[in-house]
Amino acid sequence: MSKVYDVIIIGAGPAGLSAGIYAGRARLSTLIIEKEKDGGQIVLTSEVENYPGCLEGESGPTLVDRMAEQAKHFGAEKVYDEIIEVNLEGKEKVLKGKKGEYLGKTVIVATGATSRPIGCPGEKTFTGKGVSYCATCDGAFFEDFEVYVVGGGDTAVEEALYLTKFARKVSIIHRRNELRAAKSIQDKAKANPKIDFIWDSVVKEIKGDGIVDTMIIENVKTGELTEVKADEDDGTFGIFVFIGYVPKTKIFEDMLELQKGYIVTDENMNTNIEGVYAAGDIRVKSLRQVVTAAADGAIAAVQAEKYLEQ
């Protein structure tokens, strides 16, 4: 018979790892299930400056590594598996993965979100061939090339700044006439001589012969189309997309209350099913940052402990 855990956490990003730390420290039998690799979206971040107590030069991967080690220290177990089916009703929650079945008295959903695509023709075709969603993963491939960053929020501008370490020029394409990023980040970008801005514009099509060499941009106010072609000497350019995220909630659609794909919770991370909690980017919230994800995870674990005591 499968072991019945006190707490099963789906996802090993900051929310899931924080929940693992708190649940493990409370001496609850805890299992963290992660589909691919620890960290979620934060592992794509080259520099973390706004997490309290982070080290100088902190990156997403270094912060996550310490979180994962802390959860392990407090006894949280971890398996790498993809959950494909769940039954969250009843006293024992059943999670079916590609590699096995897992039973838990409580479940904390911390599955996070994936990068939102532009949705234009050519995007899928050229993903990995000029189109990227990870500056730290692919920035070095564009040493001394031109790159374009699509988006205007914190992540987009931060990653544009990071890309200036490699690219000779970085152009930020934003559908509005001003950035949404924090003022301090905007100031850095506007002061960087390598960064340029293409306002009121969206990418309509991406083309190339094996690799990206052409992009069609539309001005949303005038409807004017502009064809951007790669420099002849380069033969290509990079397109880095940071326009938000899509929550990973598909397997919960028929069970948990959702709002625009995100899980609805109260302030204690309770979902509409008793003993099931949601934490981090997956839930409806006003701010999606590492610090709020960690707080969510801690609250969810403490609430799970209280539920089990009852």
Residues assigned a catalytic role: 134, 137-138
Handedness of CA 123, 125, 127, 131 (dihedral sign): negative
Query: What is the DSSP annotation of 216-262?
Result: EEEETTT--EEEEE--TTT---EEEE-S-EEE--GGGTTTS-EETTE
Neighbours of 78 (CB within 10 A): 18
Tally the residues of the chain. Answer: 310
143 phi, psi to nearest 5 deg: -55, 120
Q: Are 157 and 186 in contact (CB under 8 A)?
A: yes
Q: How far apart are CA 249 and CA 255, in angstroms?
A: 10
Between the alpha carbon of residue 275 and those of residues 77, 194, 199, 281, the distances in Å are 20, 51, 47, 19
